[in-house]
Amino acid sequence: MRVGELSKRSGVPVPTIKYYLREGLLPAGVLTSPNQAHYDDEHLRRLRLVRALVDVGGLSIASVREVLAAVDTRDDSLHNKLGKVQEAISQPGSADLDPLAVKDVQEFFGRHGEDECYDVTQSNVTHMLAAALSAARSVGHDHFRQVLDAYLEGAKIIAQADVEYIAQQRSSDDVIEAMVVGTLIGDTVLKAVRRLAHAQLSRAMFSDGPGDATPN
Amino acid sequence: MRVGELSKRSGVPVPTIKYYLREGLLPAGVLTSPNQAHYDDEHLRRLRLVRALVDVGGLSIASVREVLAAVDTRDDSLHNKLGKVQEAISQPGSADLDPLAVKDVQEFFGRHGEDECYDVTQSNVTHMLAAALSAARSVGHDHFRQVLDAYLEGAKIIAQADVEYIAQQRSSDDVIEAMVVGTLIGDTVLKAVRRLAHAQLSRAMFSDGPGDATPN
């Protein structure tokens, strides 16, 4: 397909595609004449992945380049590639960690046999968790760590649905693109659905008048 | 207690307390001399709630005033108060909703008997959900709605832990303060824990080499 068709099928404007080409995020097409290049489905898949990383993930061009290098590494499992992309799209949170919150995270990992798999200080994901528990402690909620085991139990059900969703994709680029979209847009979907579950429980527990049928 | 003790026990600096007093977010203390006021545990609880709304919730002073007015309304159930605070601390997301995403949300609510309780266009929470599904559709992930039922199933387990956590509080101000902290800091905790669950599943499904024992 020509660049116009690539733009139409991906929803990415032609000038943006040309920018990605110049930045090396998208491999050059096959020249069919001095002014025209031909693109195939591989380009379309790569373009969708780049767009997800930039538009949904908010990654810089330099970070997208790093992610693509990891995705393109031979002799690496899909699991390792997904892990690298997960790190790239996860903000580590505040730099100030409360040592007691770090201990909370380590104990939580220990209970779930994860202590060998995550280094609290090295991973953006665990840093995010320790930073959130530090923030809770800083406002007097040291005991918020009580929720962690139930959160993991609920998150396993959610993650199963996420994995089933991304497993419907065929190519490695598409799996990773669906993982980026599903992880990041899923964060917001889950924020909203969790509030819906809060409202359901609150209605059952804290209503005490006929005007309380609606949560809002 | 004097203002210095109030500051010490709440962790809020004295100038910030004086600012909240001037803005009417904290009721005046009882004057014990022309230059000295006495504060009690009610002030401390209210101060913690204001701090949670401002520092954790990121609310403007005007929004905090509205939330406090709702909290202080007589003849209203805790459920309705929690619902109002939940709305105040929930960003509605992008204004552009895809009508198909709105339909996804309505069908989701219909399946769970929630269609009478939420007006998709009137609630920040449902708007957030519709905006996230709109974003997924805009990048070609129309089918991401498939995850909604599993998300709700997982969120119910999570919400149960949240409600047990806030039910440990004694006063209405403390319950609402714990709800604000638990909802917002809980969002980030859940983001991290969900990624941990992703990594666990990915390790089980997508590892294919001896170097794959660690997710990062």
**pLDDT tens-digit map of B50-87:** 988 888 888 899 989 988 988 888 888 889 989 888 98
Q: Residue ranges of chain A with pLDDT lower than 70? A: 115-121, 209-216
Measured in angstroms, the CA of A34 and the nearest CA of chain B are apart by: 32
Long-range contacts of B76-79 (CB under 8 A, 24+ apart): B76/A209, B77/A206, B77/A207, B77/A208, B77/A209, B77/A211, B77/A212, B78/A202, B78/A206, B78/A208, B78/B172, B78/B175, B79/A202, B79/A203, B79/A205, B79/A206, B79/A207, B79/A208, B79/A212, B79/A215
User: Residue B158 and residue A147: Cβ atoms within 8 Å?
Assistant: yes
Buried b (16+ CB within 10 A) or exposed e, B164-181: ebbeeeeeebbbbbbbbb
Measured distance CA(B57)–CA(B126) in Å, rounded: 19
Provide the number of CB pairs (under 8 Å) joining chain A to chain B. Answer: 337
Q: Which of A89, A105, A125, A196 would best serve as a mutation to test chain B binding (most B beta carbons within 10 A)?
A: A196
Q: Which of B114, B118, B155 sits opposite A154 (nearest CB)?
A: B155
Q: Is B207 helix (H, G, I), strand (E, B) or coil?
A: coil
pLDDT at residue A117, as a whole number: 61
Instruction: Give the Å distances, CA to CA, from A63 to A60, A85, B72, B89.
Output: 5, 10, 48, 31
Q: Which of B82, B125, B203 sits opposite A196 (nearest CB)?
A: B125
Q: Which of A136, A150, A157 sits opposite B185 (nearest CB)?
A: A136
ipTM of the complex: 0.88
In tens, the pLDDT along A75-98 reads 888 899 898 889 888 877 777 889
User: Residue B194 and residue A159: Cβ atoms within 8 Å?
Assistant: yes
The residue in chain B having the minimum alpha-carbon distance to the alpha carbon of residue A147 is B161
Measured in angstroms, the CA of A23 and the nearest CA of chain B are apart by: 22
User: Residue A79 and residue B203: Cβ atoms within 8 Å?
Assistant: yes
pLDDT at residue B117, as a whole number: 61
pLDDT at residue A120, as a whole number: 67
pLDDT at residue A114, as a whole number: 73
Contacts of A214 in chain B (CB under 8 A): 83, 116-118
| Gyration radius of chain A's alpha carbons | 22
Residue with tokens 């200080």: A121
pTM, two decimal places = 0.87
